[in-house]
Chains A and B, each alone.
Chain A
Amino acid sequence: MNEISQAFGVAGAMIFGLDAKLIEIVLLSVRVSIVAVVIASIIGLPLGAAIAVGRFPGRQALIVVLNALMGLPPVVVGLVVYLLLSRAGPLGEFGILFTPSAMVVAQTILIVPIVAALSRQVIEDAWQEYREQLRSLGAGLMTSALTLLWDTRFSLVTIVLAGFGRAAAEVGAVMIVGGNIDGVTRVMTTAIALETSKGDLPLALGLGVILLTLVLVLNAMAYWVKEAAQRRYG
């Protein structure tokens, strides 16, 4: 018990003392997850909108698959990306295994389904309401999709933030494809796993506190954005 409270003390000192190593790990985490969530949004939001307004064969199957993919086990994604990027793999020539780029790839694959599936739901709900009016005004499917993306923008922000939270908190995939190399691919979650197994509790705890805070702040932001938008735009 004493050891743990001591560890908390050291962790606090590291956080408030802006410990260089801790900062480095946090910044890499945030950088990787931001790039991943940006790419995932560029792919996932239009995909969600297209599935929401489109009518094509296999649409329902696609929705089911997309929903299922939201629960993708990160270690499986890590394994697949590892195989793709390894020397002998089809994308081995890029040589990005065990770099932050590989972690971005893995996290992007993890959160594209989340962004696409959740935005599809939100946009389709809005589409039900808007469809006749938009058609009456002469909007085609493309214009309708763009209009809906813009009109549901506040809900979509919360979805993107949820994706970021998932990316930043995930450990299995980035561990496998990043390799948890000190100073290169060590992020918050992999560092926590390593330091805990080494028995270096202060760093693990410090990172844990920051990770929790980050997730909490993201959720607060998501809630606040939606509330504020609801009050302002209805």
Chain B
Amino acid sequence: MLPQLLQEVSFAVNGRTIIDRLSVEIAAGPRTVILGPNGAGKSVLMRLCHGLLKPTAGVIAWRGPTNGGLRQAMVFQRPVMLRRSALANVIYGMRLAGITPGECEMRARDVLEAVGLLHLSARPARMLSGGEQQRVALARAWALNPEVMFLDEPTANLDPGATRDIENIITQIHASGTKIIMSTHNLGQARRLADEILFLHQGRLVERAPVEPFFRHPGSAEAASFIRDEIP
């Protein structure tokens, strides 16, 4: 599938431009973090890339071979848990992807173990804590063995402990060979997780850089200001 190419992509609702003529090519490999303040258009950009929204102008395309199907998954800021067990939530996504029931069960248990929730697999998913629900959502996405995983501010609603768990899992998922494309407004998280930064400001891609140079010498006034405003 990868690389993913965005050419002059715009997205507007009711005449308000949210993404403004954005062009970028996202390649396999490094963890790409989309960084920017609230309202920069990060969530919309993720949804455009994932295919949940159609751009009002421009083209989004997968440049690599897709072999008949897109192996991609997305984890949202608010995990949406179905009214069934954690295990059944993971299996639900795999069944939709056409995986056989026997294989589903085995793989679902494996990923729940990997996110540290095997002991809660029989619990109704909605009765789990926010952090646990997000881990189930990660497991559900991971179980699909996607080539690309989009994560839209996956820790924005979580406390520091739960955030650390999620970040560790994201690192594991990346290590297992899945491309990570994640949005955040949290600078610490961007430092910890990113290999490269796409800095978004008012719907425009202002800067793209590897994480080290981005934080040491931001190349744009907007990014410099955003970094400087960090509350320690």
A residues sitting closer than 8 Å to B (CB atoms) are 129-130, 132-133, 135-139, 143, 147, 150-154, 232-234
Contacts and interface: CB of A to CB of B under 8 A. Distances in A.
Q: How large is the interface on B (under 10, 10 to 19, 20 to 34, 35 or more residues)?
A: 20 to 34
Contacts of A135: 52
Main secondary structure of the interface of B (DSSP, over half): mixed
13 contacts: A130-B80, A130-B82, A132-B76, A133-B80, A135-B52, A136-B52, A137-B92, A137-B93, A137-B97, A143-B96, A153-B83, A234-B81, A234-B127
Contacts of B140: 137
B73 interface: yes
Contacts of B80: 129-130, 132-133
Interface in B99-113: none
Interface in B52-111: 52, 73-74, 76, 80-84, 92-93, 96-97
A91 B34 CA distance: 66
B80 to A, nearest CB: 4
Contacts of B47: 132
Given A130-B80, A143-B96, A151-B83, A136 B127 contact: no
A203 to B, nearest CB: 45
Contacts, number: 47
B204 interface: no
Nearest to B81: A234
A151 B124 contact: no
A233 B125 CA distance: 7
Contacts of A138: 96-97
A136 B50 contact: yes
Contacts of B84: 151, 233
A234 B76 contact: no
A36 to B, nearest CB: 28
Contact of A234 (B52, B93, B126): B126
Interface string B34-61: 0000000000000100101000000000
A232 B82 contact: no
B124 A234 contact: yes
Given A137-B97, A147-B92, 16 more contacts: A130-B80, A132-B80, A133-B76, A135-B52, A136-B50, A136-B73, A136-B74, A137-B92, A138-B97, A143-B96, A151-B83, A151-B84, A152-B83, A232-B127, A233-B126, A234-B83
Interface string B160-194: 00000000000000000000000000000000000
A129 B83 CA distance: 13
Nearest to A139: B96
Contacts of A143: 96
A152 B52 CA distance: 24
A225 to B, nearest CB: 13
9 closest residue pairs by CB, A with B? A234-B126, A133-B80, A233-B124, A136-B74, A137-B93, A233-B83, A151-B83, A234-B127, A138-B96
A80 B110 CA distance: 60
B97 A132 contact: no
Nearest to B75: A136
Nearest to B92: A137
Contacts of A129: 80
